[in-house]
């Protein structure tokens, strides 16, 4: 049965909203017109487009698709959750798929270990942000594959061995009765940091060349990034944090919007800039309408408390703390408590992305060191006692 609606009262509703000829629609168009000459940044899950304003065409930078080594490092980062998943599968179905998947994982790490070499990272993957660290990265990959194979092989030989206590002591954290010169938690921290280092270095360099007037720049993060529940707030969206860092924190907090349900411009292929340009006006109207509505607040409610976004990055953590609601601040490259706590948070908080566990710290370190990756300490890689890669594995 259709619900009754009063035509007169519905007409009153659509006079202001929910109509292309409403006051709200005209308000959005009017406010957007006032921003036509201002720069607008729109970031999707794959690209960042800058619409300079004044009718000029957008300039576009690939984020994910331009990331060399992203999947290769993610393959190492994800070994920790992969082994933990096998453990849980065995708990739920002792005679289920866990054994076949464990054997498959061993074959995969063996193939990856054979393919891994300094030359692979230096000459083929060739990430500029990793320059000078290729040998260390190759050793990290070799060690990670060897450690994972050894742990999973023990679990296949004795399924009772595969339990949370041994996962933590013999693989993730130590102390272990087996050789564990670098706990795998540090491997995950290093690989997540390296991924963030590359994306942040390229993005900051690109924005530095554009020389944007950040105080007047508009920013929208559109569409899905990673898993369906991820990156839906400023605090959980790593690219939003990198853009803020690139502005050297000149970008006003209220100028950056997260809009996961907004239509996304197509992935940039080097030739479809004109197609992407057609999205500019709807993005301008979206940003201008939302921000201008916020500006009605002091006109309508002067004398009441003004909204300010919650400060980000000020949460601290101490030994023995049982719970935490936000990513804790990382004090230095040896702050294993904060960084390891972040690894747990990105698993337990559906809003977080695994790869974003350390990205904000990598980006912030680049800003502190004039965007020079060589001057930054990579936690979990630099200074860690990774065994030298065997000569037979060097390709």
What are the tens digits of pLDDT across the range 221-257? 999 888 888 888 888 899 999 999 999 999 999 999 9
Closest C-alpha among 191, 232, 200, 198 to residue 354 = 191
For the residues of 237-289, what is the DSSP string, one character each?
Answer: -HHHHHHHHHTTT-S-GGGEEEETTS--PPPP-SS-HHHHHTTHHHHHHHHHH
pLDDT band at 392 (very low <50, low <70, confident <90, very high): low
- Does the structure show a pLDDT above 50 at 395? no
What sections of the chain are H helices per DSSP?
Answer: 7-16, 23-33, 70-77, 79-92, 98-115, 118-119, 134-157, 164-167, 184-210, 238-246, 273-277, 280-294, 296-300, 336-348, 359-368
- Does the structure show a pLDDT above 50 at 5? yes
Q: For residues 203-213, give the mean pLDDT.
A: 97
pLDDT band at 151 (very low <50, low <70, confident <90, very high): very high
- Residue 303's pLDDT is 96
Omega of the bond leading into 175 within 30 degrees of 0 (cis): yes
Closest C-alpha among 62, 54, 90 to residue 164 = 90
- Does the structure show a pLDDT above 70 at 285? yes
How is residue 90 written in tokens? Answer: 């065995």
Q: For residues 304-330, give the mean pLDDT.
A: 89
Q: How are strands ordered across the β-sheet holding 40-43?
A: 59-62, 47-51, 40-43, 218-222, 256-259
Torsion of the alpha carbons at 65, 66, 69 and 75, rounded to the nearest 10: -20
Assigned fold of 35-65+200-265+274-292: Nucleotidyltransferase; domain 5 (3.30.420)
- Residue 388's pLDDT is 86
Task: Tell me whether residue 215 is exposed, middle or buried, using C-beta atoms within 10 angstroms of its C-beta: 0 to 12, 13 to 18, 19 or more.
Answer: exposed
For the chain, give every residue range classified as CATH 3.30.420. Answer: 35-65+200-265+274-292
Q: For residues 130-149, give the mean pLDDT.
A: 98
d(CA 239, CA 243): 6
- Residue 312's pLDDT is 74
Looking at the whole model, is its pTM more than 0.75? yes
- Residue 152's pLDDT is 98
- Residue 38's pLDDT is 96
């Amino acid at each position: 049965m259709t619900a009754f609606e009063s035509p007169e009262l519905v007409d009153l509703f659509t006079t202001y909203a929910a109509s292309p000829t409403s006051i709200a629609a005209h308000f959005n168009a009017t406010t957007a017109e006032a921003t036509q000459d201002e720069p607008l940044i729109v970031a999707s899950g794959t690209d960042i487009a800058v619409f300079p304003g004044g009718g000029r065409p957008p300039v576009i930078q690939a984020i994910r698709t331009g990331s060399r080594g992203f999947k290769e490092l993610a393959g190492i980062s994800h070994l920790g959750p992969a082994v933990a998943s096998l453990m849980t599968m065995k708990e739920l179905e002792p005679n289920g798929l866990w054994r076949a998947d464990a054997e498959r994982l061993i074959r995969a790490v063996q193939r990856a270990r054979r393919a891994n070499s300094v030359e692979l990272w230096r000459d083929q993957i060739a990430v500029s942000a990793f320059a000078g660290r290729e040998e260390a990265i190759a050793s990290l990959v070799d060690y990670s594959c060897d450690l994972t194979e050894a742990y999973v092989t023990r679990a296949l030989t004795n399924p009772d061995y595969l339990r949370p206590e041994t996962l933590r002591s013999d693989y993730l954290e130590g102390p272990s009765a087996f050789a564990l010169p670098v706990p795998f938690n540090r491997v995950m921290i290093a690989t997540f940091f390296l991924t963030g280092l590359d994306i942040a270095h390229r993005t900051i360099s690109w924005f530095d060349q554009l020389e944007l007037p950040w105080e007047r720049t508009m920013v929208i993060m559109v569409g899905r990034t990673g898993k369906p529940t991820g990156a839906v707030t400023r605090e959980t969206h790593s690219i939003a944090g990198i853009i803020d860092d690139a502005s050297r924190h000149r970008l006003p907090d209220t100028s950056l919007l997260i809009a996961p349900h907004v239509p996304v411009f197509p992935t940039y292929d080097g030739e479809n800039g004109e197609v992407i340009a057609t999205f500019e006006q709807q993005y301008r109207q979206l940003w201008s309408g939302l921000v201008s509505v916020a500006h009605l607040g002091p006109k309508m409610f002067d004398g009441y408390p003004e909204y300010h976004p919650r400060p980000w990055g000020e949460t601290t953590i101490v030994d023995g703390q049982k719970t935490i609601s936000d990513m804790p601040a990382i004090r230095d490259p040896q702050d294993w408590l904060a960084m390891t706590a972040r690894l747990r948070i990105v698993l337990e908080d559906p809003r977080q992305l695994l790869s974003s566990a350390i990205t904000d710290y990598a980006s912030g370190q680049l800003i502190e060191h004039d965007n020079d990756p060589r001057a930054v300490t990579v936690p979990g890689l630099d200074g860690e006692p990774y065994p030298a890669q065997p000569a037979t594995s060097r390709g």
